[in-house]
């Protein structure tokens, strides 16, 4: 909303200029690289908002006016659910697919266009950092055009593309989460060493304990509601394996050898990874096709429908897993947009060189900092070299668009005739395998200094 307020206050000519011009009169001074990333994140937020609006009851009447929508969708169903899935749900899902297709193609186009941009002196950098009005118009045009794509196999093919892209974005989330956990622990340990050690030690212990308590409660609830004495063998295996892996990773983080090579490693990072692994486990189980092993949140909390026998029950599509996934998505996009590149893990993720770190942190030394009369203009801190990979940043937003598409549609897949909406096993395995990758990545950050002794991991 902050960027939106600033944008509305600026003149139309500024919309065609650079990012500094866009925010110069309204926002505090800052680096051009950060301002640009925030604006692109705001573009993505607009797309997510539009996609959410497509699922609001009442929108289907307007969407049905688009030729080709909701043909053959009446009377659709999901196996195992005693509810009616009407055309309205299909219209919303198909609309989300097309909105996210437009966003994804917009960011993919810019990802290809920005390959090998080295500094703001490259003519393509001015396209990346400016021409906001035209870029917004292009994004809108691509999205509107997506609604007129002939149905055919589009939705089915795009579902599998979205599944692969969402898995890749989950991996990016894992890297950002591990970076956040290490940064959090390092910050609090430094403050504990500087002074008032008891206070910071208590805070560190409380945060760690809270994360492990949440994880333990989650495991108990998983066994109670997502398993049965007979059946649900997959869920039992998922919960048990991930619980043991988290225990192993936590114990490994405090081993003497690990502590010797990485004194700042500890249980706080392990607790954060454990909580996120439990979330991924829960998310995977909520997509299991067998409804006996995948109860809805409303049935878990004892919700009873008040509809009369003559009324048709409509399936509830917004669930807690989708909401949590949406919140995590927004936090990760914001974190990746404002995170400076002075961390080696983030450098590797965004394909940033070490030299650009000095530019990001130190600013310009050749007088490019705006004078006092332009105190609210952003600083072009990329004349000598970009502080992040333009191409990879857009590619990450491309993957984020696919992730949000799968999240908003609950990873459900319609068949070619739209007579059935199903949650398929591939989506379950994508999520549960990502939880294993999460633990493997974290364990690697612990053992890498012991394995690669000739490299500096400070």
List pLDDT tens digits, range 322-377: 677 777 777 777 766 666 444 444 455 554 544 444 334 444 444 444 444 454 55
pLDDT of residue 301 exceeding 70, the answer is: no
Sorting pLDDT into bands at 50, 70 and 90, what band is 158? confident
% of the chain at pLDDT higher than 90: 15
Which residues on neighbouring strands pair with residue 18, listed in sequence order? 130
Helix (H) or strand (E) holding 10: none
Q: How far, in Å, CA of 100 to CA of 149, rounded?
A: 13
Q: Provide the CB-side half-sphere exposure for 137 (13 A, CA).
A: 6
Sorting pLDDT into bands at 50, 70 and 90, what band is 321? low
Give a yes or no: residue 65 inside a domain. Answer: yes
Q: How far, in Å, CA of 7 to CA of 21, rounded?
A: 10
Give a yes or no: residue 104 inside a domain. Answer: yes
Give a yes or no: residue 373 inside a domain. Answer: no
Span of 77-86, 108-117, 221-230, 443-452 with lowest mean pLDDT: 77-86
Which has the closest alpha carbon to 235: 297, 272, 287?
287
Burial of residue 183 (number of CB atoms within 10 Å: 0-12, 13-18, 19+): middle
Give a yes or no: residue 34 inside a domain. Answer: yes
Helix pair 197-225, 154-194: axis angle to 10 deg: 150
Residue where the block lists tokens 């003559």: 310
| Structural contact between residues 181 and 272, judged by C-beta atoms closer than 8 angstroms | yes
Give a yes or no: residue 39 inside a domain. Answer: yes
| pTM over 0.95, yes/no | no
Show Cβ contacts of residue 85 under 8 Å, excluding neighbours closer than 6 positions: 76, 77, 78, 314, 315, 421
pLDDT score recorded for residue 38: 83
Angle, CA 130 vertex, CA 114 and CA 378 arms, to 5°:
110
| Structural contact between residues 335 and 181, judged by C-beta atoms closer than 8 angstroms | no
Backbone phi and psi for residue 443, each to the nearest 5 degrees, phi listed first: -60, -35
Q: Say how many domains are in the chain.
A: 1
Burial of residue 156 (number of CB atoms within 10 Å: 0-12, 13-18, 19+): middle
| Structural contact between residues 257 and 250, judged by C-beta atoms closer than 8 angstroms | no
Sorting pLDDT into bands at 50, 70 and 90, what band is 319? low
Average pLDDT in the chain? 73
Task: Write down how long the chain is.
Answer: 458
Give a yes or no: residue 401 inside a domain. Answer: yes
Domain that holds residue 282: 2-302+314-340+390-451
Rounded average pLDDT over 227-253 = 90
Give a yes or no: residue 173 inside a domain. Answer: yes
* R_g of the chain computed on alpha carbons: 24
| Structural contact between residues 277 and 247, judged by C-beta atoms closer than 8 angstroms | no
Give a yes or no: residue 122 inside a domain. Answer: yes
Rounded average pLDDT over 71-85 = 44
Rounded average pLDDT over 403-431 = 69
3-state secondary structure of 212: helix
pLDDT tens digits along 167-212: 888 888 888 888 888 888 888 888 877 777 788 888 888 999 999 9
Helix pair 87-113, 32-53: axis angle to 10 deg: 160
Angle, CA 251 vertex, CA 266 and CA 443 arms, to 5°:
75
Which residues on neighbouring strands pair with residue 413, listed in sequence order? 422
- Highest mean pLDDT: which of 22-31, 308-317, 446-455? 446-455
3-state secondary structure of 322: helix
Rounded average pLDDT over 20-36 = 60
Residue 341 is given by DSSP the state S
């Amino acid at each position: 909303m902050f960027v939106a307020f600033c944008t509305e206050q600026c003149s139309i000519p500024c919309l065609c200029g650079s990012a500094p011009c866009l925010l110069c009169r309204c926002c505090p001074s800052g680096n051009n690289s950060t301002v640009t990333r925030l604006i692109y994140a705001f573009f993505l937020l607009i797309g997510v908002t539009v996609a959410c609006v497509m699922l609001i009851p009442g929108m289907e009447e307007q969407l049905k006016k688009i030729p080709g929508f909701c043909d053959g969708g009446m009377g659709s169903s999901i196996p195992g659910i005693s509810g009616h899935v009407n055309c309205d749900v299909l219209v919303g899902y198909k609309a989300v697919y097309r909105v996210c297709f437009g966003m994804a193609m917009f960011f993919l186009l810019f990802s290809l266009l920005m390959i090998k941009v080295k500094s703001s002196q490259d003519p393509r950098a001015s396209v990346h950092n400016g021409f906001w009005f035209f870029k917004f118009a292009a994004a809108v045009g691509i999205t509107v055009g997506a609604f007129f794509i002939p149905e055919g196999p589009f939705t089915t093919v795009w579902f599998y593309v979205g599944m692969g892209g969402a898995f890749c974005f989950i991996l990016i989330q894992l890297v950002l989460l591990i970076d956040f956990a290490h940064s959090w622990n390092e910050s609090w340990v430094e403050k504990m060493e500087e002074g008032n050690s008891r206070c910071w030690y208590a805070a560190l212990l409380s945060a760690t304990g809270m994360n492990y308590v949440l994880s333990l409660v989650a495991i108990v609830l998983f066994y109670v509601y997502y398993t049965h004495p007979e059946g649900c063998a997959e869920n039992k295996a998922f919960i048990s394996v991930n619980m043991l892996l988290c225990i192993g990773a936590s114990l490994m983080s405090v081993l003497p050898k690990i502590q010797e090579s990485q004194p700042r490693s500890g249980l706080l990072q392990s607790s954060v990874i454990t909580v996120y692994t439990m979330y991924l486990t829960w998310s995977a189980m909520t997509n299991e096709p067998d409804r006996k092993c995948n109860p809805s949140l409303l049935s878990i909390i004892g919700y009873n429908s008040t509809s009369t026998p003559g009324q048709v029950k409509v399936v509830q599509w917004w669930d807690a897993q989708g909401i949590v996934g949406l919140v995590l998505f927004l936090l990760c996009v914001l974190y990746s947009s404002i995170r400076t590149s002075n961390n080696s893990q983030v450098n590797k993720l965004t394909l940033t060189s070490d030299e650009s770190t000095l530019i990001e942190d130190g600013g310009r030394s050749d007088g490019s900092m705006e004078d006092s009369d332009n105190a609210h203009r952003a600083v072009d801190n990329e004349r000598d070299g970009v502080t992040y990979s333009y191409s990879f940043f857009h590619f990450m937003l491309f993957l984020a668009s696919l992730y949000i598409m799968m999240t908003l549609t609950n990873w459900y897949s319609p068949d070619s005739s739209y007579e059935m909406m199903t949650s398929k096993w591939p989506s379950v395995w994508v999520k549960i395998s990502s939880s294993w990758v999460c633990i493997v990545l974290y364990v690697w950050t612990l053992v890498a200094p012991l394995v690669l002794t000739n490299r500096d991991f400070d």
